[in-house]
Amino acid sequence: MLEAVEVRKSYGEVHALDGFTLSAHPGEIVGLVGHNGAGKTTFVEIVTGLVAQDSGSVSICGLPPARARGEVGVTPQHLGLYPSVTVREHLQLFGRLAGLRRAALSAAIEEMCDSLRLAEIMDRRSGVLSGGQQRRVQAATALIHHPRLLMLDEPTAGADLQTRQAMLDVVRARAEAGAAVVYTTHYLPELVELRATIAVAQHGRIIARGTYDELVLGLPGEVRLAFEDEGEDVAISTTAPTQTLISLLSSTDRAVTAVEVRQPSLDDLYRSLAVDDVSNRVA
């Protein structure tokens, strides 16, 4: 579905992509993660045909990005809606651009209205919507034509719990229906919920690729206990936080006032891969 091999893109001396190789298969959700400046958005821009790579190849359903636009749905990181245009008009516009007409267009608008909970805002102009509502509209414009490849660049940034859940549900449903999805995020629990595979980007290349179990399971999380007495809190780094908590609770006589269980996070993953937080390598 999506095959990108050794893609390079520089802006002056900044190597935004420096041999970026990634594929996504039908039905697969690839969680693309990495520190700020790792090259995620640049990759999304190249796959969606907004930016041309300097070298390397990108193919979508066997076609280069410029000829595969109809196969791709994209939610850019920065919202790109027309402030004076209503939600309904956005969906009509994007649906028509994708070739939907009459009954098929109406059915697609209805589907987006239901799955992304847009009913109450359909006739409001996008400029007056909240950030989370705008995120849902943006997602609807990307999904309306059932593209075979979804490029979703931090689609839940700033979204509340309800919006996030609606978005995750619809993305998972699209993957189950056979779409390939590239989903960038800074939030690991979303990828767990999406049952995504994970690709870690650093300095414009993918440095680790695998399932959650392969990359994250087994990394240490943390258990913390606070006590009623004046004694110190206990904090233990452990690969089995829940079991550790149970055994700590059953082995102490002190009165516990608070417990905290932290599962491994993306930062733990980056640490395990020795990913540094420095932006880009410069020539």
Ligand X SMILES: Nc1ncnc2c1ncn2[C@@H]1O[C@H](COP(=O)(O)OP(=O)(O)OP(=O)(O)O)[C@@H](O)[C@H]1O
Residues that bind ligand X (CB under 6 A): 11, 14, 16, 34, 36-42, 77, 279-280
Q: Give the whole-angstrom CA distance, residue 271 versus residue 260.
A: 21
* Residue reference for tokens 């091999």: 5
Paired residues of 124 in beta bridges = none
**CB of residue 65 to ligand X, shortest distance in Å:** 16
**CB of residue 77 to ligand X, shortest distance in Å:** 6
- Which C-beta is closer to ligand X: that of 40 or that of 174? 40
Q: Give the whole-angstrom CA distance, residue 235 versus residue 225.
A: 7
- Which C-beta is closer to ligand X: that of 67 or that of 281? 281
- Which C-beta is closer to ligand X: that of 72 or that of 225? 72
**CB of residue 144 to ligand X, shortest distance in Å:** 25
- Which C-beta is closer to ligand X: that of 59 or that of 77? 77
Backbone angles phi, psi at 183, to 5 degrees: -125, 110
Q: In b/e form, how buried is each residue of 51-74, taking b as 16+ CB within 10 angstroms?
A: bebeebebbbbeeebeebbebbbb
**CB of residue 167 to ligand X, shortest distance in Å:** 18
* Residue reference for tokens 């410069």: 282
